[in-house]
A and B are shown apart, each in its own frame.
Chain A
Amino acid sequence: MPESQAVTAAAAAVPLSWYLMLSAVLFTIGVVGVLIKRNPIVIFMCIELMLNSVNVTFIAFARYLGDTGGLMFTIFVMAVAAAEVAVGLGILISIFRSRENINVDEINIMQG
């Protein structure tokens, strides 16, 4: 691709800050969701949402800075998310087995 086209493309492109704002909004929604929800599975899903918004930031920076680091981090974030979900849902299932209820308000046996 010739140089001139690249410059033209960049001039008309979506600014980086748009992506960052979008990511910030998604992250905030995720945080609020974690705070207001009682069902641990939905809380997990909100955490996934937060991880995703961070991924958007990573990828946007990777593209606008021309650095692959962001892409690599996204891969690791996805792997960690998968691991976290597997273990977390395993924990939830075992809690449900013993208590028949997984409302986070009720899971207070570990409180001192």
Chain B
Amino acid sequence: MDAIFGSEIWKQLFVYSVTDPAHHIEVWAHVVRSLLRIGIGLGFILTIVPGLIWLERRLLSWMQGRLGPNRVGWQGLAQPIADGIKLFFKEDIIPTNVDRSLYILAPGVALAPVLMSVAVLPWNGSPDWGAVAPGLNIGILFLLAIASIEVYGVILAGWSSNNKYSLLGGLRASSQVISYELGMGLSIIAVLLMTGTLATQSIVGEQGIIGDPINIGNTAYTVYPHSLNSGFWHWHFLAFFPFGLVAAVVYLISMVAETNRARLALREADTEVEAGFHTEYSSMKFAMFFMGEYANMLIVSAIAITLFFGGWLAPWGALSQIPASAGAYLPAWLINTLNMAVIAPFWFGIKLFLLICFFIWLRATLPRLRYDMLMKFGWKGILPIGLVNVVLIALSMALQQSFGRLRGHLMAVAVGLGICFVLFVIKMATYRKRRLDTETTTISPIRREPAALPVPARRTREV
């Protein structure tokens, strides 16, 4: 909190007069530093995305016993660049009956929020250089808000294309994103309960220290003083033992659905809606959708790391910085710089790489779900689990206050196991009946409930 109030940005906005030359240097220095941070964040995303596309194609091929692109550059590494050049020079076809302005706007609307959400993801612990907007006190809420406007690109693209497949694909994809946003939000709430703060930098810092959360605003940063004794066992996916893990799993599932990635993907189903909402897009506009999808993968993975897997912290605290004994040989500023610019981003990158591989692995392994199965899973699986999980974490915290840490937590775990047991018994008791129900009704959701799908687009109205 204190990072904002009384800080430079606060004064520049609310105290200093623009016409007063005394503060010009200060204000401009701030502007330049902000622009640099934005450059670092965006540059990171935009340079990683082509590498990510290459990684996906090669890794997927390896898993499927193929070779994948290996001709352009070393091991095919320049393939995404070649693809980009090809897409750039391809003819940009705009179909006749599209809603022109919205059709052109949609790819930008799809890409922009993804790039905006880089703002609060910390890549090291520095209060000045740790993220694009390191001190934002609504960090996680900002991420959720940005994630919630990502659907606009999909909806607009689907609608403005004036094509039934596009419209259906767009509506399907956006309803999916909206549904799984709830699960995402609930697992984020679980983390908020554990940490008591919304600022991303504090959430990461809290996983690396033992004891009270520390204030990120007013310290000249080196490395968190306690972080040497911490490690992955303090990260949130192991906090409140089963509950943190449940929250992390809920997040991971919803993040796959949220990015519309294969196996929880609805927007591109060749057999059902062709290429979904971007059926009518070609050339650079298609490339923007494509890039948005991959950048979104990076972003949600980075959020997962920040929330559950310790952000830029090393799995063992001692590895997250250069040992203090090096101070005898190296100047302090160099150690600081190395800690911030090399070691912390290194661990962040390692985790990011692993999560991305997880994404690709999922795509190579699992079959795609049908629309109704996916929605059912979101609303009847992810949502209640997330909700109960949040309640149990709150219960555990309340019980810990009155019964001591271990006993209180165990009581909450017992309540959770009890709920699982009751649900299991109910499910077993009603199992036969429910199976019969699904057999007697039709299998296709389309036949069963025509109202679940939208009426065809653009019927011209009879006058």
Contact = CB atoms under 8 A, between A and B. Distances in A.
B450 to A, nearest CB: 11
Interface residues of A, number: 6
A1 interface: yes
B28 interface: no
B15 interface: yes
A5 interface: yes
B431 interface: no
Contact of A12 (B5, B6, B15): B15
Contacts of B15: 5, 8-9, 12
A6 B17 CA distance: 14
Contacts of A1: 5-6
A9 B6 CA distance: 11
A9 B15 CA distance: 4
Nearest to A101: B461
Interface in A24-78: none
Contacts of A13: 14
B192 to A, nearest CB: 17
Interface in B207-264: none
B278 to A, nearest CB: 26
A71 to B, nearest CB: 14
A52 B11 CA distance: 28
Chain B's interface size range is under 10
Contacts of B17: 12
A9 B5 contact: no
A10 to B, nearest CB: 9
Interface string B1-21: 000011000010011010000
A9 B11 CA distance: 8
A95 B242 CA distance: 48
A1 B434 CA distance: 63
Nearest to B7: A1
A12 B14 CA distance: 8
A12 B19 CA distance: 11
Contacts of B5: 1
B462 to A, nearest CB: 10
Interface in B12-45: 14-15, 17
A96 B264 CA distance: 33
Given A1-B5, A5-B6, A5-B15, 8 more contacts: A1-B6, A5-B11, A8-B15, A9-B14, A9-B15, A12-B15, A12-B17, A13-B14
Interface of A: 1, 5, 8-9, 12-13
11 contacts: A1-B5, A1-B6, A5-B6, A5-B11, A5-B15, A8-B15, A9-B14, A9-B15, A12-B15, A12-B17, A13-B14
8 smallest beta-carbon distances between A and B, as pairs: A1-B6, A9-B15, A9-B14, A8-B15, A12-B17, A5-B15, A1-B5, A13-B14
